[in-house]
Amino acid sequence: MAVSRTPPPSGMTRGLTFLLAVAAGAAIANLYWAQPLLSFIAGDLGAATATAGWLVTATQIGYAVGVLLLVPLGDVLDRRRFVPAMLVASAAALLLCALAPSFGVLLLALTVLGVTTISGQVLTPLAGDLASDAHRGRIVGVVGSGTLTGILASRTISGSVAGLAGWRTTFALAAVVAVLLAALLHRAIPPLAPRARMPYLQLIASVGAVVRRERTARWTLVLAATGFATFSLFWTALTFLLSGPPFHYPVAVIGMFGLAGLAGVLSGLRGGRLHDRGWSLPATGVAWTLALAAFAVAAFAGRSVVLLVIAIIMIDVALQTQALLNRARLFALSHEARSRLNTALATSNFIGAAAGSAAATTLWAAGGWTAVTYTGMGLCCLALAAWALGRRGPLQIRQVGSGGSRAGQSGQHFAGWPDTDSEQGCRQDEECETDHPPDQAGDGELPVSEARGAGGEADHGQRWNTDRGGDQHGRKGGAAAGEPAADRPGPAGGPGCRTT
């Protein structure tokens, strides 16, 4: 695998950050245009309302396929061309939706729309690449907040436009917006050399390889899936609660409750700064504690709109914050593999959301709102347990400091952290051996030059220049890996690896 030596551009303008956030929100909104319109669409195309529910399912299935098969291409293609191309493809699918003469054609068009509307999942890691290290969390938070805004606002916009001009107009306008954004992004995104070169099948397989190598990624994905399961559990059950006794609200009113969730957007803007300041792990614990408190409030809100709104705000702030911190933590693991890490994150989120929706239906039938809120509290406790176990080890991103000790995200130093571990740190096996030069990186790894700038001598998976006296494991160097040479000192600053 070849890796571009061209360093990524540093810094982003406010205008480009805003444009990426808007484009990410518009892309994710395409998944939800049909949700509040199912009865309108069913009546117009002569389908049963229950059958119309498959429109949402088809879109989500298509999206899952697109995330798995297309998003990893963000690591090997020029995203200045790739993102606009995906937006134009989604515009074509939206236009087909607007012109669909039958239910079957609309079902097919929405499936294609799901596959192609993956631009938001490419733009978020792109924002991480363009941002400087000091501001990456904030920039990713802004773009992530754009995604959340798209999810929450799409239902309200879709219902309003359909009420004024019909459901087909919603898709037609979305197609126009997609084309405009494609043109703007093609002009605004700077030319970017591919960060890696590898065959497509190897690229797809490497998604799993990156996750297997990074223990921090695996633990973070568990927290992410739990967060989306909790989020989906709450919002799915909330629809059942508000549509039944004692509220009996119509669909339009139920959709307005989603606006209360916009508070999560503001939390996302602030959450990125917490990561930049090294408070990612403490803030994650606080977020899950807030989510636990929110479900406790919700348990008493079965007959109170005020308490429900309070619970909605608390849950959205908590879960949006932890989701942003999870993404920022993953992006800190690797520069070359951010799109693939984002693929793993989106997949785990999708699995969690599907599990949460299914659980909400089962729990509502078994025990109503009480069963749902108690299960939500249980999920929050599970996440807090994982956070408590991982915050001193697997969830830490440690790099070698100038004095040889390992510093975590929170700024604490772990001078006594073990130097050898099969899952973290300096692994003493052939799997770590690579043949790329010191300034190149392996699959999803930081170039040596970047690792040095981050406070350590090199990242894992890279070979030290033997003239400096060591290999990639930080062992005192020989002419080849595994050949100790007592007459050569090791690299300055201690073992040259990162522990995750």
- Among 99-113, 370-384, 482-496, which stretch is predicted with the lowest mean pLDDT? 482-496
CA distances (Å), origin 391, targets 220, 224, 235, 290, 386: 11, 15, 29, 18, 8
3-state helix, strand, coil in the chain (%, to 5): 65, 5, 30
pLDDT at 394 over 70: yes
H-only helix segments in 244-391 = 251-256, 263-276, 280-299, 305-331, 338-390
pLDDT at 437 over 70: no
User: Cα–Cα distance between 284 and 274 in angstroms, integer?
Assistant: 10
Q: Which of 267, 307, 291, 234 is closest to 149 using CA atoms? A: 267
Burial 30-58 (b: 16+ CB within 10 A, else e): bbbbbbbbbebbbeebebeeeebeebbeb
Exposed / middle / buried, residue 463 (Cβ in 10 Å: 0-12, 13-18, 19+): buried
pLDDT of residue 351: 85
Enumerate the β-bridge partners of residue 426: 420
pTM (2 d.p.)? 0.67
- Read out DSSP for 406-426? EE-TTS-EETT--SB-SSSSB
pLDDT of residue 398: 58
H-only helix segments in 166-262 = 167-188, 200-213, 215-243, 251-256
pLDDT of residue 268: 60
Q: 113-170: per-residue pLDDT in tens?
A: 999 999 999 998 898 888 887 888 888 888 888 888 888 788 778 878 887 888 999 9
pLDDT of residue 490: 41
pLDDT of residue 313: 92
Q: In which band, very low, low, confident or very high, does the pLDDT at 430 lie, cut at 50, 70 and 90?
A: very low
**Which range, 47-51, 351-355, 470-474, 489-493, has the best average confidence (pLDDT)?**
351-355
Whole-number percent of the chain with pLDDT over 90:
40
Q: In which band, very low, low, confident or very high, does the pLDDT at 51 lie, cut at 50, 70 and 90?
A: confident
Asked whether the beta carbons of 144 and 324 are under 8 A apart, the reply is yes
* Mean pLDDT, rounded, of the chain: 77
Q: 53-93: per-residue pLDDT in tens?
A: 788 878 888 898 999 999 999 989 999 999 999 999 999 99
Q: 184-233: per-residue pLDDT in tens?
A: 999 999 887 777 788 999 999 999 999 999 999 999 999 999 999 999 89
pLDDT of residue 50: 67
Whole-number percent of the chain with pLDDT over 70:
74
Q: Which of 30, 264, 258, 250 is closest to 156 using CA atoms? A: 258
Q: 240-257: per-residue pLDDT in tens?
A: 898 889 998 876 677 778
Residue with tokens 């614990």: 285
pLDDT at 461 over 90: no
**Which range, 229-243, 413-427, 466-480, has the best average confidence (pLDDT)?**
229-243
Angle between helices 49-69 and 38-45 (to 10 degrees): 110
Q: In which band, very low, low, confident or very high, does the pLDDT at 417 lie, cut at 50, 70 and 90?
A: very low
pLDDT at 422 over 60: no
Give the residue-averaged pLDDT of 169-183.
Answer: 96
pLDDT of residue 332: 86
Phi first, then psi: what are they for 304, rounded to 5°? -125, 115
pLDDT at 104 over 60: yes
pLDDT of residue 427: 38
pLDDT of residue 144: 81
User: Cα–Cα distance between 317 and 395 in angstroms, integer?
Assistant: 22
Give the residue-averaged pLDDT of 346-372.
Answer: 88
pLDDT of residue 480: 38
SS3 33: coil
User: Cα–Cα distance between 113 and 92 in angstroms, integer?
Assistant: 8
- Amino acid identity of 63? Y
More confident residue, 407 or 292: 292
Residue with tokens 């991103």: 397
The gap from C-alpha 398 to its chain's centroid, in whole angstroms, comes to: 21
**488 Cβ contact partners less than 8 Å away, ≥ 6 residues apart:** 469, 470, 476, 477, 478
